[in-house]
């Protein structure tokens, strides 16, 4: 295929890439090629099994990226998982379908991305979605699952709903009573996907309720459309870098790839090259193509095509921890999609003081993040982003933590994370060799508010387990346990447990940020890379700020909107 030419080349056949490929190939006269490093996982039980979360980890469909040793977080390296398959990370993720707080998406516009707000994104969340009404599935009777039809789509490609293993023994209702009985109650929220997430909810998942198998990007956006003659996919093909046309404009005309047989080829694009390789790959592909920080590129002998030093900066993730408690009931092979999203006023007993203290620290935080990357991202821009984040937390009341309850065997597992950490790091290439591992440094726990919020979420979980009826249904805290972290421990008292046991929450974003160029943006509000005439990024890299909820629903929606932008409809 080495002399082939296409209108559009999409690099990465993952969550966002397959949305773009599907929507562009709706135009019959438009040819689209998707380049995907992985293969098909249509019949891979580690993918399809709805109770199989984690089974794909460490297998050949997991990129298993390694971070640098995390100096603020106990010194060790973390594994950041990502799917290497047609369907990308949607084939190995936790299938949770939770969007964002409306005010968070509105902040994208506030910071300078015209046209990007909750109101303009909601139609795209819906466009992609095919919610399967739980009333159609008798196995969901009594489970407590619910939704508000105003916020959902019913005819899109992506099936969203609940599995046949959903617990329906009354635990959902008891959790609700427990949340109402807290000293500062967390109210029931019937549908957390309508732009207000605060509260206690049962959330839907990306699942085919009929077949009880995972719904991933390939099942939603590719397989039903694979007969389109203008839609092409090269599997097991690694994109190495973009190729450029000669001339005054910076225009991509193709992609250099390594084919499955090991040979290198260049495939041509006549219109656009669209990067969708994920937040830890797309910025590295830009660098390999000469787009980035000249000081970094020159170290590896790469000539600078576009001086865009913030490529790979602003990397944000969350940190995931868990507490475990004995359960007096035994649960087997059931799913319980129970989430709570406390606001700052609900999580922090002294929220006003916490807010005032954090506000005083923001200038120092901004300076610290800037100096860690040699002021490539600037203190004044970071301060602006941090102040927006502060406003979201303390004025708009977004959730500051997410708490998931997962009964398993005779244990109540919880997973939790502070929703919007302030720490920011980077991802950069380590070599001109496109197969070399990148240098990934999220700088977990660099800023002390991030530890404080993470510790406070743990205290909050302890309070939940001391509140009836959950208190009567559960036994001792088995991890970390009161002998490891005493009741009433301060942040210092929690630090060893948190930093010794956290993992990446697998939500890396902002490494090719959609922001005005003068604020350090890499792509403009049409997702085009600054300085190029025809290169876009459409994946998690472009999200300007972290979202509460999980990433996939927002990534699907952003890609849906991106497709309309490329088609000239927005």
Residues that bind ligand FAD (CB under 6 A): 11-17, 35-38, 81-85, 88-90, 92-96, 238-239, 276-279, 281, 506-507, 539-540, 550-553, 555
In the bound state with ligand FAD, the residue whose beta carbon lies nearer, of 50 and 327, is 50
Closest approach, Cβ 83 to ligand FAD, in A, equals 5
Closest approach, Cβ 97 to ligand FAD, in A, equals 6
Closest approach, Cβ 49 to ligand FAD, in A, equals 14
Among the options 232, 238, 452, 507, which is catalytic? 507
Closest approach, Cβ 392 to ligand FAD, in A, equals 19
In the bound state with ligand FAD, the residue whose beta carbon lies nearer, of 13 and 489, is 13
**Cross-strand bridge partners of residue 406:** 413
In the bound state with ligand FAD, the residue whose beta carbon lies nearer, of 289 and 389, is 289
Closest approach, Cβ 17 to ligand FAD, in A, equals 6
Asked if residue 462 lies in contact with residue 477, where contact means CB atoms within 8 angstroms, the answer is: yes
Round to whole Å and give the CA distance between 412 and 478.
10
Round to whole Å and give the CA distance between 237 and 234.
6
Name the strand (E) or helix (H) holding 428: strand 426-428
Closest approach, Cβ 349 to ligand FAD, in A, equals 30
Residue of minimal Cβ distance to ligand FAD: 14
199-202 sheet: strands from edge to edge: 199-202, 338-341, 401-418, 324-331, 474-479
Respond yes or no: is residue 452 known to be catalytic. Answer: no
By C-alpha distance, which of 513, 356, 372, 358 is closest to 446? 372
Asked if residue 269 lies in contact with residue 255, where contact means CB atoms within 8 angstroms, the answer is: yes
Closest approach, Cβ 39 to ligand FAD, in A, equals 10
Respond yes or no: is residue 550 known to be catalytic. Answer: yes
* 472 φ/ψ angles, rounded to the nearest 5 degrees: -75, -20
Closest approach, Cβ 452 to ligand FAD, in A, equals 25
Tell me which residue has tokens 């952003």.
558
In the bound state with ligand FAD, the residue whose beta carbon lies nearer, of 511 and 534, is 511
Closest approach, Cβ 460 to ligand FAD, in A, equals 21
- How far CA 419 is from CA of 101, 179, 397, 450, 546, in Å, comes to 11, 19, 12, 9, 8
In b/e form, how buried is each residue of 488-516, taking b as 16+ CB within 10 angstroms?
Answer: ebebeebbebbbeebbbbbbbbbbbbbbb
Angle between helices 379-394 and 102-110 (to 10 degrees): 150
In the bound state with ligand FAD, the residue whose beta carbon lies nearer, of 351 and 511, is 511
Tell me which residue has tokens 């198998």.
213
Q: How many CA within 13 A on the CB side of residue 5?
A: 4
CB burial of residue 476 (10 Å; 0-12, 13-18, 19+):
exposed
Q: What is the DSSP letter of 517?
A: G
- The token pair at 158 is 């992506």
By C-alpha distance, which of 18, 4, 12, 35 is closest to 259? 35
In the bound state with ligand FAD, the residue whose beta carbon lies nearer, of 205 and 358, is 205
In the bound state with ligand FAD, the residue whose beta carbon lies nearer, of 376 and 557, is 557
In the bound state with ligand FAD, the residue whose beta carbon lies nearer, of 425 and 459, is 425
Among the options 152, 428, 452, 550, which is catalytic? 550
Tell me which residue has tokens 């800037």.
370
In the bound state with ligand FAD, the residue whose beta carbon lies nearer, of 58 and 123, is 58
Q: What is the gyration radius of the CA atoms in the chain, in angstroms?
A: 23
Closest approach, Cβ 492 to ligand FAD, in A, equals 30
Round to whole Å and give the CA distance between 329 and 410.
6
Q: How many CA within 13 A on the CB side of residue 511?
A: 34
Instruction: State the pairing for strand pair 129-131/158-160.
Output: parallel
In the bound state with ligand FAD, the residue whose beta carbon lies nearer, of 264 and 486, is 264
- How far CA 11 is from CA of 17, 74, 244, 283, 558, in Å, comes to 7, 36, 15, 12, 16
Round to whole Å and give the CA distance between 283 and 280.
7
Which of helix, strand or coil describes residue 403? strand
The residues that are catalytic are 507, 550
């Amino acid at each position: 295929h080495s002399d082939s030419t296409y209108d559009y080349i999409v690099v990465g056949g993952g969550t966002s890439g397959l949305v773009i490929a599907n929507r562009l190939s709706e135009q019959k006269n438009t040819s689209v090629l998707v380049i995907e490093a992985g293969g098909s996982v249509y019949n891979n039980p580690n993918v399809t099994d709805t109770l199989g979360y984690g089974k794909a980890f460490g297998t050949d469909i997991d990129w298993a990226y390694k971070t640098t040793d995390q100096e603020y977080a106990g010194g060790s390296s973390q594994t950041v998982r990502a799917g290497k398959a047609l369907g990308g990370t949607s084939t190995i993720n936790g299938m949770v379908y939770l969007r964002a707080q409306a005010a968070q998406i509105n902040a994208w516009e506030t910071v300078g991305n015209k046209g990007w707000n909750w109101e303009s994104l909601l139609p795209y969340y819906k466009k992609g979605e095919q919610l399967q009404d739980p009333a159609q599935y008798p196995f969901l009777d009594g489970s407590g699952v619910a939704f508000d039809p105003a916020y959902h789509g019913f005819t899109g490609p992506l099936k969203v709903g609940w599995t046949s293993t959903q617990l329906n023994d009354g635990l959902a209702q008891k959790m609700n009573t427990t949340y109402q009985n807290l000293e500062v109650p967390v109210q029931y929220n019937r549908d957390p996907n309508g732009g207000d997430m605060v509260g206690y909810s049962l959330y839907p998942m990306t699942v085919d309720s009929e077949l009880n198998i995972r719904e991933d990007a390939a099942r939603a956006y590719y397989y039903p459309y694979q007969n389109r003659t203008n839609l092409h996919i090269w599997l097991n093909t690694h994109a190495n870098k973009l190729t450029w046309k000669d001339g005054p404009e910076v225009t991509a005309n193709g992609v250099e790839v390594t084919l499955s047989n090991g040979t290198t080829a260049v495939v041509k694009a006549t219109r656009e090259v669209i990067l969708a390789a994920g937040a830890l790959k797309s910025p590295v592909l830009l660098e390999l193509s000469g787009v980035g920080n000249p000081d970094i590129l020159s170290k590896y002998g790469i000539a600078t095509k576009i001086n865009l030093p913030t490529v790979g900066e602003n990397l944000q993730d969350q940190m995931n921890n868990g507490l475990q408690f004995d359960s007096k009931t035994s649960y087997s092979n059931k799913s319980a999609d129970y989430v709570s999203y406390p606001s700052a006023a609900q999580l922090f007993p002294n929220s006003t003081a916490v807010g005032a203290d954090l506000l005083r620290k923001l200038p120092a935080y901004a300076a610290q993040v800037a100096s860690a990357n040699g002021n490539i991202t600037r203190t004044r821009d970071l301060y602006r982003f941090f102040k927006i984040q502060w406003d979201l937390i303390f004025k708009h009341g977004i959730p500051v933590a997410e708490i998931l309850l997962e009964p398993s065997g005779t244990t109540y597992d919880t997973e939790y994370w502070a929703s919007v950490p302030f720490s920011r790091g980077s991802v950069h290439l380590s070599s001109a060799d496109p197969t070399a591992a990148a240098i990934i440094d999220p700088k977990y726990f660099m800023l002390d508010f991030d530890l404080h919020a993470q510790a406070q979420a743990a205290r909050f979980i302890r309070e939940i387990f001391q509140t009836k009826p959950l208190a009567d249904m559960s036994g001792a805290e088995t991890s970390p346990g009161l002998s490891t972290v005493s009741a009433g421990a301060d942040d210092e008292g929690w630090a060893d447990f948190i930093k010794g046991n956290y993992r990446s929450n697998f939500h890396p974003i902002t490494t090719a940020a959609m922001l005005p160029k003068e604020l350090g943006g890499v792509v403009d509000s049409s997702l085009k890379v600054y300085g190029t005439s025809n290169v876009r990024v459409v994946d998690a890299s472009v999200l300007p700020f972290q979202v509460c909820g999980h990433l996939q629903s927002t990534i699907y929606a952003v890609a849906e909107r991106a497709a309309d932008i490329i088609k000239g409809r927005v």
